[in-house]
Structure 1
Amino acid sequence: MSDIPGPSALAIMDENSNKENMDIFYEPEKKKVKVEEKEKEKNALEYRLSGILCCAVCLDLPKTCYQCTNGHLMCAGCFNHVLADSRLKDETATCPNCRCEISKNLCSRNLAVEKAVSELPTECQYCYCHLPRNQVDYHERELCEERPSLCKYSRIGCCWCGPFHELAEHEIGCGHLMKPGAEIMESLAEVDKYNETQLKLYKDIVSLFSCEKVTFNDLQMKPYRTDDFTTKLFYETSRFSAFNFQWVIKARINNDQKNPALTTDRTLSYQLVLKSKFTTPISLSYIVLKGPYGEIKINPYIYTHDFVQDNVETAYNDLPIINSVECNKLLAGRTINLRLIMVMMN
């Protein structure tokens, strides 16, 4: 009997070899669909606009948008950071795209881009649903079922944090409902301690305003540099009058660092200097607040100092701004505006 396969056997072998070749040279159908969906996403109008309207520095879509004289876009955070870096380095700030000069006066807001970006879709960071950017903050804060939520018994020590849709079930069976009263009182004592600190600050400020000698001055701090080998940036106000004496405020960036331009974590500290001659000691309390034309976000703090003949300068105290982003915002401007409230104690 012959070993040569018949026509039907040859057809089966050819069919099997074709299937093997298909497995080698072709992707499965599901992968084709995913690739096609990805290509459609890249060709979508929203995707193309995101590449056009993004910030030139961080490549993210800006909520607040600035543009240079040639139309290149920057978000507010990157814009202030570039200006702050150039001020610290004593260089001219330039656009990261075209290297033209930029400043608060030369650059302008692009409201059309801001409105266009607010309508572009984005994902909720919790449930990943697509929403317009002008709605996503409210959705994440109030509507999203996956938003992180704290147990209402967190005041008595419950550390649970989970999605909102599981909150009601957790609170029904929360183990802190069965805690003894002594442990609950310990947890509430920590909350009361924080509230007492805030209340004390409020009462201290109110009591200072009831003193006999109270004054305030709206000041501008202007930058200057030293002649040292390592140049550092300082700020100083012009002389101003209070209680028939002459005063000056001096400020500097990052007390503990020689070159603040090498870090993104920046702080501003200031001191009050008495410039006039005096015969009797002066006990003074003072607070720095946001000026009427300033944009600084500050948490007020009361400082006190006794001025005597050998000590006419206060220590450098931290300007209690909330974070380094606010510091960059201050450094981005030509001057720093603030309001100083001074109270002479009896």
Structure 2
Amino acid sequence: MSNANPSVNNNELPPAAKRQRLSDVASKDESTLNEISTTMDSSEGEVGGSSGGGVSDLRERLHNILVCVVCREVPQPHDFFQCSHGHIMCEDCKTAVLAVAIFNKTRACCPSCRSLIRNYDQEQNLVVRQTLWELPISCPSCNDQFSDRKDLSRHLEFVCEGRVVCCKYHCLGCSWKGPYKDSVSHDSDCRFPQKQGKEILDILLHVEDRELEAQKPVLQLHRVLSASRVEFFTLRMKWIHRSEGLHPRTLESETIRAFEEYWVLRLRLKRAGEKITVSGQLLLSTTPRVSLMVDHLIQMPQSVCSAKQHHDIRPRIYRHIFDSTGKCANRQELPLAGPQALYRLFAMTRIQLRLWMFLHY
């Protein structure tokens, strides 16, 4: 039997207390904020026994919850992950943690709670992602705040006084770059418009040399596309153990067949102090009947890599003549775009590379 008083109308009951939304808090004036601060502090003290600093303290606590536990920066809404206990890491920091663990032959752990981190089970938190989309974003040059990231892009490209621009005489060789607000004063003081004709001619000849240098990759591409035969493979790399007589940090592909011969691609990880480099080497497993002039190119396969990884390996073509006495191409450093490219490569669940081979008779 119910103990409720039948004379009480449920419609007359007071509504349940609700926390203020961030958007509501941000739109209040200062006096209202103080009232909300007092109310929230008293209610939090009753429930949790804690005393806070009001709205500003609430914002600070929310900020501390949403920042990456490694770099302490607020991540992009589409660019973060969480450990099994919910601690937030931006993608760059996550890949760095995974890669460094591989370099050091240790387990990758969350820096906050030490829970195990694996690349294949990293997920996003929907609530955190939606909250990050609601947060205002600041311009890195002038600290103006924007609620829409598209507005920030337009601001950075056309409006911001702190955006970096080149001198308008850069075609003559002026290398000045600086904030847009300083460009007018620099242009008036730039010495390049006052140069004599002979000096300008020398500058233009130097510019022409640089353009010819920039065309070399196109000429290389034309050369390899004129090859007699072209093969490409997506290679799955695996670690080779020390007991096999190789360098202890060596990755090797499965054996592939191209141009009626068998080949293997090897990568060697080398660490000198804080610097880590990766070198690649193409090896011929069989003895060829004739000499083979082969160009090869290593890329990231788009089918298995993230959007950030598409250009992590800079295009570079290597040539070697393989014969019975020269079955190993020269070991060359892999042209990675930077440290993050190195981390993303070794943080892959399965390290895979695209190998192009071009045979010239």
TM-score, normalised by the number of residues in structure 2: 0.75
Aligned position for 2:297: 287
Aligned position for 1:221: 237
Q: CA deviation at 1:73?
A: 1.0
Amino acid at match of 1:276: T
Is the CA contact (8 Å cut-off) linking 2:295 and 2:359 kept in structure 1? yes
Is the CA contact (8 Å cut-off) linking 1:286 and 1:340 kept in structure 2? yes
Confirm or deny that 1:270 pairs with 2:283.
no
Moved more, 302-311 or 203-212: 203-212
Aligned position for 1:11: none
Aligned position for 2:111: 96
What SS is found at the alignment partner of 1:108? coil
Q: CA deviation at 1:171?
A: 3.3
Listed one character per residue, the Cα deviations across residues 50-82 of structure 1 (whole Å, up to 9, x for unaligned) are 211011111111121111122111111110111
Is the CA contact (8 Å cut-off) linking 1:150 and 1:161 kept in structure 2? yes
Is the CA contact (8 Å cut-off) linking 2:287 and 2:323 kept in structure 1? no
User: Which structure has the bigger radius of gyration?
Assistant: 1
Listed one character per residue, the Cα deviations across residues 214-248 of structure 1 (whole Å, up to 9, x for unaligned) are 111111112233249xx842211000111111100
Is the CA contact (8 Å cut-off) linking 2:164 and 2:179 kept in structure 1? yes
Confirm or deny that 1:326 pairs with 2:337.
no
Structure 1 distance, partners of 2:55, 2:141, is: 21
Moved more, 143-152 or 241-250: 143-152
Is the CA contact (8 Å cut-off) linking 2:120 and 2:349 kept in structure 1? no
Is the CA contact (8 Å cut-off) linking 1:286 and 1:343 kept in structure 2? yes
Amino acid at match of 2:290: T
What SS is found at the alignment partner of 2:342? helix
Give the alignment partner of residue 49 of structure 1, picking from 62, 75, 80.
62
Structure 2 distance, partners of 1:298, 1:198, is: 18
Gaps of 5+ in 2: 1-52
What SS is found at the alignment partner of 1:266? strand
Q: CA deviation at 1:41?
A: 7.9
Aligned position for 2:211: 195
Aligned position for 2:35: none
Aligned position for 1:241: 257
| 1:232–1:190 distance in 2 versus 1, CA, 3 Å | farther
Aligned position for 1:25: none
Q: CA deviation at 1:115?
A: 4.2
| 1:162–1:99 distance in 2 versus 1, CA, 3 Å | closer
Kindly tell me the number of residue pairs found equivalent between the two proteins.
Answer: 301
What SS is found at the alignment partner of 2:215? helix
| 1:198–1:175 distance in 2 versus 1, CA, 3 Å | closer
Confirm or deny that 1:75 pairs with 2:86.
no
Amino acid at match of 1:278: P
Structure 2 distance, partners of 1:206, 1:160, is: 35
TM-score, normalised by the number of residues in structure 1: 0.78
Give the alignment partner of residue 164 of structure 1, picking from 171, 177, 180.
180
Superposition pairs of residues 1-346 of structure 1, within 5 angstroms: 42-43=56-57, 45=59, 47-63=60-76, 64-132=79-147, 134=149, 135-168=151-184, 170-171=186-187, 174-227=190-243, 232-254=248-270, 257=271, 263=274, 265-292=275-302, 293-295=304-306, 296=309, 297-346=312-361
Amino acid at match of 1:242: A
Structure 1 distance, partners of 2:324, 2:209, is: 39
Amino acid at match of 2:295: S
Amino acid at match of 1:210: S
Structure 1 distance, partners of 2:221, 2:104, is: 38
Q: C-alpha root-mean-square deviation of aligned residues, in Å? A: 2.6
Moved more, 173-182 or 331-340: 173-182
Structure 2 distance, partners of 1:82, 1:98, is: 14
Q: CA deviation at 1:87?
A: 0.9
| 1:138–1:318 distance in 2 versus 1, CA, 3 Å | farther
| 1:57–1:205 distance in 2 versus 1, CA, 3 Å | same
Q: CA deviation at 1:332?
A: 0.7
Is the CA contact (8 Å cut-off) linking 2:137 and 2:147 kept in structure 1? yes
Structure 2 distance, partners of 1:333, 1:300, is: 20
Listed one character per residue, the Cα deviations across residues 156-175 of structure 1 (whole Å, up to 9, x for unaligned) are 13243343134345435643
Listed one character per residue, the Cα deviations across residues 166-221 of structure 1 (whole Å, up to 9, x for unaligned) are 43454356432121122223333333333212212112212311222111111111
Is the CA contact (8 Å cut-off) linking 1:253 and 1:268 kept in structure 2? yes
